[in-house]
Amino acid sequence: MSKKILIISAVFSPEPVVSAKLSEDLAIALSKLHNVSVIAPKPTRPYGFDFKNESKKDSFTLINLDSYTCPESNAIGRLRESYSFGMACKKYIHKNHKEIDVIYMNSWPIFAQYFAAKMASKYNISLITHVQDVYPESLSNKIPLVGGLFNILLKPIDKFTLKKSKKVIAISTKMKDYLSATRNISLKKILVVKNWQNEESFIEYDKIKQNISNKDRLFTFMYMGNIGPVAGIDLLIESFYNANLEKCKLVIAGSGSKKEELEKMVSLRDIERVEFVAVADGKVPEIQATADVMLLPIKKGAASSSIPSKLPAYMFSKKPIIASVDIDSDSAKAINEANAGWVLEPEDTGVLIKAMKAAFLEEKKELNLKGENGFKYAMNHLSKKNNLQQIVKAILELI
C-alpha cells in the first residue's frame, strides 16, 4: 500500500546547491515507491543566481511555501528566515497531517526544524532529521560577543528537535559523536551518511570531453562554489597575486554574496589573470574540466565536522586539490586518505603561495595520479549511488 511521505527542504531545485540536489534525489527515488510531496521556500540560493522559469514534469508534488527568505549573509535575517519557514511548515502540517505518514526534514536550523518537530510530535508522525551543520554552535562561533547567550537560549530548542526525531542523519562520524554527547541522544539513533554528488554527470562528461591542453594555455587554478564569507576567496586572490605565477590564471566560478565585492577588489588593484565566471545548472563538470588544480579554502573552524559539497565534485572531476582547511577536519582527512592533493593550515597565505608554486611545477602525471586517487575515493565514499540508498532505506524503515 502506497504511503505518503513529506519532504521539508530549506532549498530545492532549481537551486544549484547541495541540499537542494539531495532532497530532489530523495524525492525522485521515494516517489517510485510512495506518494511524495515536497515543501520548500521560493528559490533564492545562491545569492545573485539567475533563476529561469523552467517547467519540468516530476513524479512528486512540489509546493513553494510563502515565507520570508534571506539569501544574503545576515545572521538576523537568517534567523527570521528560519522562523518564517518554520511557521509556514507548521501551518502546512496542521492542515495536512492526516495525509502524512513520514516526514524527512533537511531544513533551516533551530526554528524551522523546531516547529516541524513539534507538529510531527503532536500528530504522531514519524520524523527523520538531516543535520547539515551543528546549530547554535556554528552561529555562536561567527558572533563570539553574544555566542554564549545564543547557546544558552537556542541549544535546548535543537535538543528538542533531535529528541523528537525517530532518526537523525549526521554527515560525519565526528558530528554524530558530538550530537550524541551534547544533545543526550543515543548513538544508535544517529545514522552517518556523507553528502553526495551525482557522479553520473561527471562520468558522462569525462567520456565525451576533448583534450583541452595546448602549449599556449595558462595553467589554471580554480575555485568552484558559493562565493560567500566562509569560503575565504579573498585569501586565494591575495595568494595568487603574491605568487606571481605569470603562466597561470585563477578562475573563481560560481555566485554568492561576496562576488561583487571581490570583483571590485580585483579591478581596483588591477590584479591580472583572475577571472569570475557564472556556472549554469549542469555545467559543473564542463567548467571544472578546464582546471589543472582545484582550490578548497575554508576559514578556521567553519567546517570541522562536515565535508563541503564542492569536495566530492572536485574529486569526481579527477582534479588534484589544494585545501586550506582545519587539519583535523573531515575534508582534510578525506584528501589525505585519498592522497588527492595538498592539505594546508587555513588562512595562511604564505603556505598557500608555496603550494601553488609547487603544484605548478609538479609533473603532469603526478597531478593526474592525485586526481585519479580522489575519483576512486569519491566513488567509494561520496557517490549518489552508494549514499542515496542509505537514506531511502532509513526513511522506508519508519513506514
In this prediction, residue 51 carries a pLDDT of 80
Per-residue cell: 122: 503532536
129-163 burial code (b ≥16 CB/10 A, e <16): bbbbebbbbbbbeeeeeeeeebbeebbebbebbbe
Specify the DSSP class assigned to residue 228. Answer: S
Rounded to a whole number of angstroms, the distance between the first and last alpha carbons of the chain is 11
Q: Which CATH superfamily is domain 4-196+383-397 in?
A: Glycogen Phosphorylase B; (3.40.50.2000)
Q: What percent of the chain has pLDDT over 90?
A: 73
Q: Is the peptide bond before 136 cis (omega within 30 degrees of 0)?
A: yes
pLDDT tens, residue by residue, 328-340: 888 999 999 999 9
Q: How far apart are CA 213 and CA 348, in angstroms?
A: 31
**Reported confidence tier of residue 241, pLDDT bands at 50, 70, 90:** very high
For the cut 80, the answer to whether the pLDDT of residue 177 exceeds it is yes
Give 3-state DSSP helix, strand, coil % of the chain, rounded to 5.
45, 15, 35
For the cut 60, the answer to whether the pLDDT of residue 47 exceeds it is yes
In this prediction, residue 145 carries a pLDDT of 65
Per-residue cell: 318: 579527477
Q: What percent of the chain has pLDDT over 70?
A: 94
H or E stretch including 89? helix 75-96
Residue type, 258: K
Q: How far apart are CA 103 and CA 38, in angstroms?
A: 10
CATH entry 3.40.50.720 includes domain 199-381: no
For the cut 80, the answer to whether the pLDDT of residue 391 exceeds it is yes
Q: How far apart are CA 192 and CA 387, in angstroms?
A: 10
Ranges in the chain annotated CATH 3.40.50.2000: 4-196+383-397, 199-381
Cβ atoms < 10 Å from Cβ of 350: 11
pLDDT tens, residue by residue, 347-363: 999 999 999 999 999 99
